[in-house]
Structure formats: C-alpha cells, structure tokens
Amino acid sequence: MTTVTERFLRYIQLDTMSIEDTTDPTTPGQLEFAKVLVEELKTMNMDEISLDDNGYVMAKLLANTKKKVPSLGFIAHMDTSPDMKGQCSNPIIIKDYNGLDIQLNEENNIVLSPKEFPELLNYKGETLITTDGTTLLGADDKAGIAEIMTALDYLKNHPEQLHGELCIAFTPNEEVGRGANHFNVEKFGADFAYTIDGGPIGELEYENFNAAGAKVSIQGRNIHPGSAKGKMINAILLAQEYVAQLPKGETPAETEGYEGFYHLTNIQGEVESASLSYIIRDFDIVSFEKRKEMMRKMAAKLNGKYGDNTFKVEIKDQYFNMKEKIEPVIHIVDTVAKAMKAVGVVPDICPIRGGTDGARLSYMGLPTPNIFTGGHNFHGKYEFIPIFAMEKSVEVILRVIEMYSKPEG
C-alpha cells in the first residue's frame, strides 16, 4: 500500500497552479493531474470513476455493509495558488527537526525560522517537508488529495472494515474561487461531505467569511500640466482619497479571529482613469452588508465633491458563511471532533478566515465542513508540512467513516 508521504511527494512534482482565466480548468496542468488521479483510482478498482470536460474527477467506493448508513463525501482541490510557482520539484525532507533555523535556499539566504514561525517548535523531533525557497510546497491541497487517496487505498486493502458508500471528488480552480462552479452535487451523491483542505493538525472548520469582490472605477480628466489649474482631475489622486476614507485598522494585516476587513488587492491608474480592486470579508451577514454599503456611500460622497459618475462601484458576492447550513446537521462536525480525539488529535474548532469549496457547496445542498491537512504557511515559499500530521489526517478520515458505519440504534 502506498503511503501518504509517497503520494504527496509525487503529486507536488506536477505544476497545477491556477490563474485568473475564463477556461475550466484554468491551466492545462490541472487536467494532466486529473488524468493521473483517474488512472490511480482505476488501479485501486474504485467505482464510477469519471473526469468531465471541466476537469472534475469523481469516483465512489461502494458500501460493503448492509446497514443503512449515510453516503459520505470527501473532497480536495487539485490546483495550487497563483501567488507563487506551484511545481515543487525539489522539496526538502528534514528528519528529527531540532528546533533551529532551516536553510531553505543558501544562494538567496531564505530561512524558515522559528523566530518568525514559532509553530515550528511544536514539531521538534518530527519529520518535516519544506520547499527549497523557490516555490510553494503544494500541501494546499495536494496533501488533502494524498490523504483521501491513502484512506481509500487502506479500505480497499482491508475489506473487513465496514463502510457505507463513499463519494470522492477532486476539483479544479479552487484557488481562484471557482472550484464549485461546475460541481454536480446530484451526480456526486453524498448526503454530506468534508473538504480535506484545512491547515495545521486538529483544525476543524464550519464557519467562513461572507465574501464579495468590489471594483471601484474612477474617471479623471487629463489636461496638459502647464495649463491644468482648475481643469485637471487626476484619477490617481482621487483613488488615494477613496482609499484614505476606509476605516483604519480594518485590513488583513490588522485583524484576526472573527474580525472582518477590506483588502485592497490591486490598483491601476493614470491621470485619465484609475481602478481599485477590493475583497470584502466578514463573518456576520449584517456587518458584511454594512461593509458593502460603506463602499457605495464613499463613492456617492466623493461624487458629490467631484461630479456624478466620477466614482462607480461594482460589488459581486462570492460566497457566504456556511455556518447557517451546517448547524442543522451539526453531527457532521461533532463526529469529526470525536474521531480526532479517538486517534489522539486535539480538535481546534475555529473559523476559516477565507473560504473553501465547502462554503459554496453547503449552499448548493451539500453540507461540507473542513478538516485539516496538517500544512502551514500556504501560498508561499515558507510552506511546510509535518509527515505525522498527514498520517493523522488519514486516521481521522478512516475513523469518521468507521463511526458512520455503526449508527446508534
């Protein structure tokens, strides 16, 4: 039976970085990875294996018990973040970590240090997998895929472990917010599901941000600077004025826990025109709506100063807090917490300061909380994952399956 580490190290060699694009999947590497997974699922003799035109892989492991038990789903995404090169061709394996600085890249003096990342000290004596400082690692979410596949492999090799129907999906484009765009919930067939897409060991999440994207378009007027007095309207300066009016301290760098924020992600401009791109995040739906209204009111105020249509704000909702859809079936969270405790993992039930495929899927009729992969520092060169955490994720998946194969009564 292939280990979770072997699978993970093989998967991260593939370049599956997402990009903002109109195609599905957004990059050909995701489709190539999908084909690899399909062949692996065939080798494992899984059932109802499919790969659709949009790059979604689905499969099932049919029930081997006659008991009436729920159909469980397990989901992970194939793509990696567009923030950094995603093909990790040279991962570093550190055995028996000693708690000191880790030299990732001597040439560029890139160091993974417990001074900046004190959580490293939790893993003294453990084996870590890191990047070489030139790419991200890809644990988000190739670790999740490796963990699901390893759990399936175990069940295939241990038919004595009873289980209900298991529904598996690997999705593209999650990192650009489109992982659920073409997800066929009916075909998937699960009563409820879990994304294996969380961070450090023990994470269990069923709350996430309400999310929207906003674009502020600013129309200026360009006049030769030698005769511009009273005539020029510099759109770049107006953009600065708009930014300055947002509430201070409500940015990602200054918030945590349940605190929401406005995040300026892009600014472009010339004298004639400028644009600002924001993401808006808040756990509370009332506060979320107030944030959107704040951005509209700011534009209206500045239009009163500079003229109608100088500022235009377009806001599009992206996803919503899945808590509303999970709480009526909270047993799917409670069961995971019990499973974690049973395998020696302390549950850390916390809000996701972001979103997963599960957020949208929950509103599509498939309640889907999120379970840890074990990784840290996703989306960048300081990403790492302890091997034992991946192994514990596999154990948690298997224990959840076991617990639902033995319903009370």
242's CB contacts (< 8 A; 6+ apart) are 216, 218, 276, 298, 299, 302, 311
CA nearest neighbour of 86 among 136, 42, 41, 132: 136
Catalytic-residue membership of 174? yes
State how far the Cα of 272 lies from the Cα of 102, in Å rounded to an integer. 49
Place of tokens 């280990």: 3
Alpha helices in 327-382 (DSSP H): 331-342, 357-363
Output the CA angle 364-173-75, nearest 5 degrees. 55
Catalytic-residue membership of 79? yes
Are 22 and 30 a contacting pair, CB within 8 Å? no
Which of 174, 207, 282, 395 is the catalytic position?
A: 174
Place of tokens 């659709």: 52
Which of 79, 132, 175, 282 is the catalytic position?
A: 79
State how far the Cα of 355 lies from the Cα of 318, in Å rounded to an integer. 10
- Crossing angle between the packed helical segments 139-157 and 28-43, to the nearest 10 degrees: 10
Q: Where are the extended beta strands (E) located within 182-260?
A: 192-198, 203-205, 210-219
Question: Would you name the residues annotated as active-site residues?
Answer: 79, 174
